[in-house]
């Protein structure tokens, strides 16, 4: 899933508050009260959802369903297994029956916990681990349109200005239980045989292809039955009942059917997703070595939903999106819209492997799903020639890594693997730590062991855990096999290197001090509210660096390691007058503070010829300096601005993204109309002048999206900070638009 904040960040808008579906929060001290015991292991669901026209058209808010769950039993300790625990939509169940291989099992009673949504079914005899059981239930569920979770109703105005309705689903993370009784935890994978009974005139989509034609039920209903799914977690099940039409994209090279579906009125806007979807799936097959059709899925539907709470959702074989994140209007949409759509598709298609085929065992480790998706939404596209003009591997640094360095510098920040027990805590795991930090840590691991080794490790991980669940040690074990030639600390495994990065909150700041022709490096945790030199957090930090005399520049592989509070690295310089950049291309997840003499040397080089320093390191220097000043960590804003006077010569996009992130924050803090605010705006107008002068207000027909992004960034900033020429041009354009509509 691409959560709302990330999805809207991609389109430069502001996130709305996320609906809290659980109002009776219980603390995580009651961890086991929310978790199923793991004594029943499902293998198959036979599910029939029944919806009438009155349900779809907002005249009735409940639906009926029937489910048969086949499961076996696992004995845990000496506990007596005379019960079944599972999640259900409500206590409104009937015809609850249990049978084993030989006979029906008598049910004494069942009780429902509304807070945890867990039903306990008490039996008059103990379950036998040698037997296979089938639990059948009829039930009533609610159609929830307010939260847009579970099975919910959406609507839109069609081309006749009539309200058209549809039913759709959003089950991640804990809402499959709102639609059908199930073992609603990601580790309980099973196959599904799904049937939807629905009114005539509506089409139905689900994770797999339908089996034959719909079966007539009475005069007005049809029953559409779908092929058996692969083993799948409950939150990845999906179905849609609608009047949507679909556009066929090119079939995937492995004969996978590919279609993009939406309301009929938007059919012309499906082509971008149809064309890029095939290419992105093919790129993943090439990269992972795992073919999409190996999963047993023979189709991919991308569907635009008018009302959708998340940004997009990776339901296996049936990916759902907000309309603006999959539909592209050639006349009205911007270059940024185009990139956002393609990146979101790449994110969700990553999940077909990372999340769907291999799924985190529990939500503590959601970064195994979302970190990979947030990483590959940039990196898989760099494998595709047609996406090269976007320079997405660089965009990732300023769009993902640097913003999460801000979020993760709060003392309240939690580790990637922090425990989540309650539904509220599980929902809270879908944040920038899981997505952006997860992606950044995965990127750092790739830089440590090398791209080819990383790629082999990815394939091994997917092969080892396909149709199953994973924990971080499974990923590290697969990577470990490929890391034998990596430059790791002596007698240290990759697993040991990664432990604190995964299991501790926050990240380090590495302080670099020149000592003759070497450097002393030390680490502390970086925090805005305090810097604690005695912090117990110590990371194993890969140190890549480039001195001004280096011939091989800005390689992200580590040359040295900082495994304790401090160390000395010798022979960094040929002379004592050189500069050095640590953390090449910001390849690892930390900030770098330099001693005054090194800051002066770096600033001198930037003023003399800033292109001698890699563009990502220029962006890093800007981001670090301003954030050190923000934290009052061995840096004042006055000094940071002196070191960054070179910005008056900077014309590249990425450093200006970093600069304006921090400058906009600073302006918000000091205020537009204060003495400091006025001085700040004058300074920014001065610094931005050169890059502003290289751009034109005429329509950009260059075909280079980064040029378009830079124009938007710089023009917005120039006008925001009060550049007279910018305000004059924008005013003229607006007056022309009012007169001509163009």
Q: Catalytic site residues?
A: 348
What is each CA distance from 278 to 226, 300, 312, 335, 666, in whole angstroms?
A: 23, 9, 18, 20, 44
Helices 438-449 + 367-382 axis angle, to 10: 60
Residue 370 labelled as part of a binding site: yes
Peptide bond into 387 cis (omega under 30): no
What is each CA distance from 155 to 115, 161, 178, in whole angstroms?
A: 30, 12, 20
Cα–Cα distance measured from residue 196 to residue 65, given in angstroms and rounded to the nearest whole number: 9
- Kind plus residue range of the DSSP H or E element containing 342: helix 335-351
Q: 515-524 burial, b for 16+ CB within 10 Å, e for fewer?
A: eeeebebbbb
- Kind plus residue range of the DSSP H or E element containing 152: strand 150-157
Q: Considering Cα of 240, then 241, then 247, then 252, what sign does the dihedral take?
A: positive
What is each CA distance from 313 to 30, 326, 622, in whole angstroms?
A: 29, 12, 35
Q: Residues near 278 by Cβ (< 8 Å), separated by ≥ 6?
A: 249, 250, 251, 252, 258
Phi/psi of residue 5, nearest 5 degrees? -60, -45
Phi/psi of residue 270, nearest 5 degrees? -90, -10
The full DSSP string for 362-399 is SGGGTHHHHHHHHHHHHHHHHTSGGGGGG-HHHHHIII
Cα–Cα distance measured from residue 189 to residue 201, given in angstroms and rounded to the nearest whole number: 33
Cα–Cα distance measured from residue 178 to residue 146, given in angstroms and rounded to the nearest whole number: 14
Residue 314 labelled as part of a binding site: no
| DSSP reduced 3-state for 298 | coil
For the chain, what is the radius of gyration of the CA atoms?
28
Cα–Cα distance measured from residue 41 to residue 74, given in angstroms and rounded to the nearest whole number: 7
Q: Which two tokens stand for residue 614?
A: 């890699």
Do residues 685 and 722 touch, judged by C-beta distance below 8 A? yes
- Kind plus residue range of the DSSP H or E element containing 677: helix 675-693
Residue 301 labelled as part of a binding site: no
The full DSSP string for 570-602 is ----SSTT--EEESGGG-SS-EEEE-HHHHHHH
DSSP state of 300: E
Q: Which residues are annotated as a binding site for Zn(2+)?
A: 347, 351, 370
Annotated binding site: 347, 351, 370
């Amino acid at each position: 899933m691409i959560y709302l904040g990330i999805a809207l960040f991609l389109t430069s808008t502001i996130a709305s508050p996320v609906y809290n579906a659980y109002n009776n929060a219980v603390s995580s001290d009651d961890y086991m009260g929310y978790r199923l015991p793991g004594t029943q292991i499902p293998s198959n669901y036979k599910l029939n959802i029944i919806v009438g026209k009155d349900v779809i058209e907002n005249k009735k808010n409940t639906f009926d369903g029937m489910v048969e769950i086949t499961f076996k039993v696992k004995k845990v300790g000496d506990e007596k297994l005379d019960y079944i625990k599972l999640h259900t939509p409500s206590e409104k169940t009937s015809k609850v029956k249990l049978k084993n291989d030989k006979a029906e099992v008598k049910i004494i009673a069942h009780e429902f916990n509304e807070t945890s949504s867990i039903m306990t079914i008490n039996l008059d005899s103990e379950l036998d681990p040698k037997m296979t059981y089938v639990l059948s239930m009829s039930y009533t569920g609610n159609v929830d349109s307010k939260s847009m979770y579970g099975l919910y109703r959406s609507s839109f105005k069609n081309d006749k200005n009539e309200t058209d309705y549809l039913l759709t689903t959003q089950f991640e993370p804990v809402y499959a239980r709102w639609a059908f009784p199930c073992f609603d935890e990601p580790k309980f994978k099973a196959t599904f045989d799904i049937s939807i009974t629905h009114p005539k005139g509506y089409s139905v989509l689900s994770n797999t292809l339908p089996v034959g034609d719909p079966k007539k039920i009475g005069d007005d209903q049809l029953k559409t039955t779908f092929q058996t799914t692969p083993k799948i977690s409950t939150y990845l099940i999906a179905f849609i009942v609608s009047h949507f039409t679909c556009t066929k994209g090119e079939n995937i090279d492995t004969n996978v059917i590919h279609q993009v579906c939406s309301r009929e009125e938007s059919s012309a806007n499906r082509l971008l997703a149809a064309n890029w979807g095939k290419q992105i799936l093919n790129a993943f097959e090439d990269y992972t070595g795992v073919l999409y059709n190996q999963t047993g899925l023979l189709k991919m539907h991308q569907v635009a939903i008018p009302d959708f709470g998340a940004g997009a959702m990776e339901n296996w074989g049936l990916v759902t999106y907000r309309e603006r994140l999959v539909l592209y209007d050639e006349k009205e949409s911007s270059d940024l819209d185009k990139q956002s759509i393609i990146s979101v598709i790449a994110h969700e298609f990553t999940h077909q492997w990372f999340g769907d085929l291999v799924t985190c065992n529990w939500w503590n480790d959601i970064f195994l799903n979302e970190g990979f998706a947030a990483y590959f939404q940039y990196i898989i596209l760099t494998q595709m020639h047609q996406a090269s003009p976007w320079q997405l591997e660089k965009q990732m640094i300023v769009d993902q890594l640097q913003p999460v360095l801000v979020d993760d510098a709060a003392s309240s920040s939690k580790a990637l693997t922090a425990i989540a027990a309650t539904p509220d805590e599980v929902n809270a795991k879908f944040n920038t730590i899981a997505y952006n930090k997860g992606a950044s840590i995965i990127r750092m691991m790739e830089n440590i062991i090398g791209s080819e080794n990383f790629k082999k490790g990815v394939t091994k991980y997917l092969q080892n855990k396909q149709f199953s669940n994973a924990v971080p040690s499974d990923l590290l074990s697969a990577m470990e096999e490929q890391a034998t030639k990596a430059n790791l600390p002596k007698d240290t495994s990759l697993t040991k290197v990664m432990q604190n990065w995964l299991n501790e909150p926050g990240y380090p700041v590495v302080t670099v001090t020149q000592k003759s022709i070497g450097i002393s490096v030390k680490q502390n945790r970086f925090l805005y509210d305090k810097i604690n030199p005695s912090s117990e957090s110590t990371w194993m930090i890969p140190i890549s660096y480039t001195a001004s005399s280096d011939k091989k520049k800005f390689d992200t592989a580590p040359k040295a390691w900082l495994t304790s509070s401090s160390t000395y690295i010798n022979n960094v310089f040929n002379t004592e007058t050189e500069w050095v950049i640590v953390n090449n291309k910001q390849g690892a997840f930390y900030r770098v503070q330099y001693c005054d003499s090194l800051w002066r040397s770096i600033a001198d080089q930037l003023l003399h010829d800033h292109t001698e320093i890699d563009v990502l390191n220029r962006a890093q220097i800007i981001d670090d300096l301003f954030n050190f000043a923000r934290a009052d960590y061995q840096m004042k804003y006055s000094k940071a601005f002196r070191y960054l006077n070179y910005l008056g010569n900077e014309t590249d996009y990425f450093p200006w993204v970093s600069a304006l992130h921090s400058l906009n924050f600073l302006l918000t803090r000091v205020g537009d109309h204060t003495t400091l605010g006025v001085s700040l705006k004058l300074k920014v107008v001065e610094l931005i002048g050169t890059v502003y002068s290289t751009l034109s207000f005429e329509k950009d027909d260059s075909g280079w999206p980064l040029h378009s992004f830079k124009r938007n960034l710089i023009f917005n900033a120039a006008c925001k900070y009060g550049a007279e020429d910018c305000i004059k041009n924008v005013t003229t354009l607006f007056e022309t638009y009012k007169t001509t509509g163009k």
